Amino acid sequence: MSGPTEHYDWGSISGDEPRERTRPERMPVPAHVSSDIGLLILRVVVGGIFAAHGAQKVFGLLGGLGPAGTAAALDGLGFTTFAGPLAWLLGVGELALGALLVLGLLTPFAAAGLLAVKLVAIVLSLGPGGVPAVPLFAADGPNSLELHLLLGAGAAALLFAGAGRIALDAGRTYQRRPLPWSVLCLVVAVGVALLVLFVLRT
């Protein structure tokens, strides 16, 4: 059984032909309050943990090492020349960028900076042949790789997903067109991590 037809008229030639099949227009994916709440929770937890780590490094709060202790730890990881400035940069960066994540302000840029921190931490946690030189799980010992992976994944997720609508970023260009900005920020994060690892680690 043939489908519906429509008439055509091309000068002296006319007739009937099957109606052209067209794909229905795809509707945009709707924004849901539930996803906004989920992103808010992710931002508060991930950003809050980073900010707390920054406060430990800058002010010595929550049992932290403070600037001098952080510099000594970085010196032991091979950052001999720039240990002091890096300690301050790391502490202030985690504190400020973590706070930006919590507020949902400049989210992809803040997430990129924090992702760079965790990329460096993950690389430094790997021994020869890429085998972790520290325990994988926190239950197996201190300074585990688990927390670096979780926080790095959280920062990467926010880099691509954005802050959601319950944020100060609501309506900004990089939230309305997230993919190009996300890719750019990812490239910047990887570039910063490589700079720290191969230029500042002397």
Within-domain flag for 157? yes
Which pair of structure tokens corresponds to residue 67? 């600037």
The pLDDT of residue 2 is: 55
21 in Cβ contact with 3 (< 8 Å): no
Within-domain flag for 28? no
- Give the separation between CA 85 and CA 144, rounded to whole angstroms: 25
Within-domain flag for 15? no
The pLDDT of residue 140 is: 79
The answer for residues whose C-beta is within 8 angstroms of residue 43's C-beta and 6 or more apart is: 101, 102, 104, 107, 158, 163, 164, 167
Within 13-82, residue ranges assigned H as helices are 33-59, 66-76
pLDDT, averaged in runs of 10, over the chain (202 residues): 56 56 55 90 98 96 93 94 96 98 97 98 83 79 88 97 92 88 97 96 84
Within-domain flag for 132? yes
The pLDDT of residue 42 is: 98
Q: Which domain, by its residues, includes 165? A: 34-198
Question: Coil, strand, or helix at residue 65?
Answer: coil
The pLDDT of residue 135 is: 82
Write the single-letter amino acid at 111: A
Within-domain flag for 123? yes
The pLDDT of residue 30 is: 56
The pLDDT of residue 102 is: 98
Within-domain flag for 21? no
194 in Cβ contact with 68 (< 8 Å): no
Within-domain flag for 5? no
Within-domain flag for 9? no
Quote the pTM value.
0.83
In total, how many domains does the chain have? 1
